[in-house]
Amino acid sequence: MDFLDAGAVGFGTDASKIDVENPAAVQARLARLALEAEVVAVASHNWVDDPLSGETWPMHRTGFLSTYLAAMQAAHGQVLFTGSDIANGLCGFIDGAIESGMRAARDAASLLALHNS
Ligand SMILES: Cc1cc2nc3c(=O)[nH]c(=O)nc-3n(C[C@H](O)[C@H](O)[C@H](O)COP(=O)(O)OP(=O)(O)OC[C@H]3O[C@@H](n4cnc5c(N)ncnc54)[C@H](O)[C@@H]3O)c2cc1C
């Protein structure tokens, strides 16, 4: 049998579901995914507990965006909302931040044009 050194990266909605500092726990989780792998080392970082980040990117549940996205994007008078977390695409990534920022900039320009007309 050939052996392959590989790294696996995982994300989830609930950090309490698995002790990512425990190789045996990670091994057990990989086995549930039917992955034949021997875990030799694990590394993790709790970004939510890190005071310099305080969060990670959003991990929305199914249906969250279709239910709430339009309301979260909606302007309230002259107050506009923007940010990766409320982007249409690649929500939670830098591309989403750019998309959402461009939309807000266009909306702000329209509001200013209206104000100045
Ligand atoms: C640990 C980590 C790793 C990531 N890795 C990747 C990656 O590899 N690739 C990728 O594409 N994305 C990654 N992301 C996601 C990406 O960094 C974010 O989606 C993106 O930075 C969000 O940009 P944003 O402008 O929407 O929000 P932010 O970058 O969070 O900007 C919001 C700004 O508003 C400021 N602010 C907040 N409240 C107020 C207030 N009341 N008054 C004034 N200012 C305020 C904040 O200080 C902040 O500067 C990662 C995120 C984290 C946390």
Could you report the per-residue pLDDT of 57-101, keeping only the tens digit for each? 787 788 988 999 999 999 999 999 999 999 998 888 999 999 999
Kindly report the pTM of this predicted structure.
0.75
Query: Are 85 and 112 within one domain?
Result: yes
Contact 32, 12 (CB under 8 A): no
Ligand 1 centroid to Cα of residue 56, in Å, is: 9
How many CA atoms, within 13 angstroms, populate the side-chain half-sphere of residue 97?
Answer: 5
The pLDDT of residue 108 is above 70: yes
Structural tokens at position 76: 């309230």
Q: Which residue range(s) make up the domain with 102?
A: 64-116
CB-based pocket (< 6 A), ligand 1 = 47, 53, 55-57, 83-84, 92-94, 97
Contact 83, 100 (CB under 8 A): yes
Ligand 1 centroid to Cα of residue 85, in Å, is: 9
The pLDDT of residue 30 is above 60: yes
Type of residue found at 30: L
CATH of the domain at 89: 1.10.10.1620
- The least confident of 32-36, 74-78, 113-117 is 32-36
Alpha helices (H) along the chain: 23-32, 64-73, 94-116
Atom of ligand 1 nearest to the CA of 53: 53
Atom of ligand 1 nearest to the CA of 55: 53
The pLDDT of residue 1 is above 60: no
* Choice from 44, 47, 57, 81 to test ligand 1 binding pocket (greatest atom count within 8 A of CB): 57
**What is the DSSP code (8-state) at residue 91?**
T
Query: Are 70 and 108 within one domain?
Result: yes
Query: Are 108 and 82 within one domain?
Result: yes
Query: Are 51 and 68 within one domain?
Result: no
Please give the C-alpha separations between residue 101 and each of 5, 58, 95, 97, 117, in angstroms, as whole numbers: 40, 17, 10, 6, 24
Ligand 1 centroid to Cα of residue 16, in Å, is: 24
More confident residue, 72 or 9: 72
In terms of Cα–Cα distance, which of 37, 13, 14, 12 is closest to 27? 37
